[in-house]
Structure 1
Amino acid sequence: MKGLGLLPRLLLAILLGIIIGAGSPRWVIEITATFNGIFGNFLGFVIPLIIIGFVAPGIGELGRGAGKLLAITAGIAYASTIVAGLIAYITGSAVLPNILEVGSMNMSANNPEEALVAPLFKVDMPPIMGVMTALLLAFTLGLGIAAIKGDMLKKLMDDFQQIVEKLITGLIIPLLPLHIMGIFANMTYAGQVATIMSVFAKVFVMIIVLHIVILLVQYLIGGAVAGGNPFRLLKNMMPAYFTAIGTQSSAATIPVTLRQTKKNGVHEGPADFVVPLCATIHLSGSTITLVSCAMAVMMLNGMNTSFGALFPFILMLGVTMVAAPGVPGGAVMAALGLLESMLHFDPTLTSLMIALYLAQDSFGTACNVTGDGAIALMVNKISGNKLTPQE
């Protein structure tokens, strides 16, 4: 299993979960449900730590390097992320009700036989603070670090960030396939898995189409600002796109993204500044995925998906994506607090979100890094440089 990437492990876990749920007695499902309950409670405990560990240092780092170029780049990245979220919302509102059975998973109240199996026992793991408290504390600490240039506090938060990242990469991510397997075993046993697998396929196609749309929008704007052919510029970034699909990491793709950005004619200074920065703060593809998956899960459960309910979530998601850890699945981990506090997701819905997100994480990452090249085009022009394409 260690030799497999996260996506193959996830797909194997889903398959095993369906097999276990279809052919196992109830006590087996109760054991998996017990593990899921414990893991879900632990995830709830960790969410405030993830928020503080990543949002505070991320905001502090941005503030410490404050300058005109940084402010412009961060502003463009945030605007791009919000536009991506709005495109996903508008498309999801028009398309998802026509391809999903709204309320089809909200069965337990109407048909007790189709309710999920309860765990054998529960272990309470109350978080040290609420999600909104953690967000407010993270913003306060991050802005404070930037304002007073506090090196000791910055070092402390950097160390805490490393601890939380080790917790994610060393414990949570490796156990996620087991958690997903248990969720799908339970849903198969309850007769809900056909609905979920249908959702997986339909939402996946919609998300990939939206990724293509946002990249075209980004390069049409970037080409117009920089004075280049947007389709040629986008074509030149394809090596970065396919590298990101393989690595599932924006950070690991930086060398290729940087090379292709310079090939598009962006000068060395802006390219060297924008590409590594945007690998951290610009996650338009991930935002499309999170908004689309959240809407699908909410519609299946008959929840409110109005603009008033989703728009504040999209605005906060844009801020949270700035601090998303640079690991596979990092964006959905950073967004868990918002899903819980703003969209009222319970542990089961959170697990479905994780499964839906991770199934296409590599494509979201590819969209993110390819879009970084478009931002570099704009910043290059704003910096007073003309494109000098390389052969």
Structure 2
Amino acid sequence: MRKIHIGLLARIIIAILLGIAIGHILPSPLVRLFATFNALFSELLNFSIPLIILGFVTVAIADIGKKAGKMLLITVSIAYGATLFSGFLSYFTGSALFPLLITPGSPLNEFNQVQDALPYFSIAIPPLMNVMTSLVLAFTLGLGLAGLKSNSLKEVARDFQEIILQLINSVILPLLPIYIFGIFLNMTHTGQVYSVLTVFIKIIGVIFLLHIFLLVFQYCIAALFVKRNPFKLLGRMMPAYFTALGTQSSAATIPVTLEQTKKNGVSADIAGFVIPLCATIHLSGSTLKIVGCALALMMMQGMPHDFPMFAGFIFMLGVTMVAAPGVPGGAIMAALGVLQSMLGFDQSAQALMIALYIAMDSFGTACNVTGDGAIALVIDKIMGKKQALHSEL
């Protein structure tokens, strides 16, 4: 008998539907049991966030420093710039449209506990350090490791990264649907779940349209460099887009992205360098989703969401996305620390962010990998000009 594999998105959807369906009928002792689980899982998640940042950001910065070169510097700069653009696009669009779709002043802290259903017990698991300390430490270690000739400490950092990846894959992601189930169970008990789901659908619709606009914009910019039809260039990348929709993985889509990028006229050497690198560091679609979802949830709670606050958040989020693990939901796991430290997201807000993000995970990944082809076109043109100039000299 073959095992039936249910993906993370499907498990999250099932958890949400179950939480809504049985929220009014589940016996109180069982409700308290899920409230206890949520309390424990929240403590584990808060403990893990600084470790996730330390494990992934350290190695990402060390690797970038070790591979230092002109093409790498140009690629990283363009990818980071594209990520920042998508974040600010999401913020300004959301600031204009979300007030028409969202009724402010629905604090999510109403959903923290089920009515009359407190946890049986809770265990405090204090994090080893706060989020900003872990970020600064990760930058310090990463930059230091990049300059070391010895590889012994780098291997320790990679082993630590592998441990954290196993924690995410083996513990956090498998238990996540139960946590989401508990959150929606709570919301059903408070009678707020239907208004929240209505807002979810509206947000998902706006962000999907933004993804389409972002891809068209990226290929219009690339077309200016290569002087070709942007829609034909984008059309050739559709196999990569639909492959990413199915796999939810940038890494798994690399062979298709690479092949379609070469069909767009990018040289094999440039495509072979840029596409695998951008599969790791270019997350425009993911950044767009995170910024849009965060803004919507803050509006729902009536929290301040001024531009200076979000500008700092977007700049820091762009750095964090470079180090996001390449697993379904990995980007939002890496972003939780920045959401917590810079925007003040509590446990309930973090849980809703995870649910919203994973609901659109396939579309974000597809946007990321398809945009990689546009960056490859630009890099190919820039490096071609540099080589031509060098030949003339």
Say whether 1:118 aligns with 2:110.
no
Tell me how far apart the structure 1 counterparts of residues 114 and 219 of structure 2 sit (CA, whole Å).
Answer: 48
Q: Contact conserved, 1:107 with 1:115, CA < 8 A, in 2?
A: no
Q: 1:150 deviation in Å?
A: 3.7
Q: Contact conserved, 2:203 with 2:296, CA < 8 A, in 1?
A: yes
Q: Residues 295-345 of structure 1, C-alpha deviation per residue, up to 9 Å, x if partnerless?
A: 111111111111111110000010000000000001000001001100111
Q: Residues 217-258 of structure 1, C-alpha deviation per residue, up to 9 Å, x if partnerless?
A: 110001111222111000000000000010000000000000
Tell me how far apart the structure 2 counterparts of residues 331 and 241 of structure 1 sit (CA, whole Å).
Answer: 18
* Partner SS for 2:44: helix
* Partner SS for 1:342: helix
Give me the TM-score of the superposition, normalised by structure 2: 0.95
Give me the TM-score of the superposition, normalised by structure 1: 0.95
Aligned to 1:389: none
Q: Contact conserved, 1:113 with 1:190, CA < 8 A, in 2?
A: no
Aligned 1:1-391 pairs, distance under 5 A = 3-106=5-108, 108=110, 117-384=117-384
Instruction: Give ranges in structure 1 of 5+ residues lacking alignment.
Output: 387-391
Moved over 3 A (4+): 105-109, 112-118
Q: 1:273 deviation in Å?
A: 0.2
Q: 1:341 to 1:2 in 2, by over 3 A?
A: farther
Q: Contact conserved, 2:113 with 2:186, CA < 8 A, in 1?
A: no
Q: Which amino acid aligns with 2:106?
A: S
Q: 1:216 to 1:36 in 2, by over 3 A?
A: same
Tell me how far apart the structure 2 counterparts of residues 88 and 195 of structure 1 sit (CA, whole Å).
Answer: 23
Instruction: Give ranges in structure 2 of 5+ residues lacking alignment.
Output: 387-393
* Partner SS for 2:188: helix
Q: Which amino acid aligns with 1:105?
A: P
Q: Contact conserved, 1:53 with 1:160, CA < 8 A, in 2?
A: yes
Q: Contact conserved, 2:43 with 2:125, CA < 8 A, in 1?
A: yes
Q: Residues 55-89 of structure 1, C-alpha deviation per residue, up to 9 Å, x if partnerless?
A: 00000000100000000000000000000000000
- Across the two proteins, how many residue pairs are aligned to each other? 384
Q: 1:263 to 1:35 in 2, by over 3 A?
A: same
Q: 1:108 deviation in Å?
A: 4.2
Q: Which amino acid aligns with 1:165?
A: L
Q: Contact conserved, 1:48 with 1:130, CA < 8 A, in 2?
A: yes
Tell me how far apart the structure 1 counterparts of residues 298 and 341 of structure 2 sit (CA, whole Å).
Answer: 14
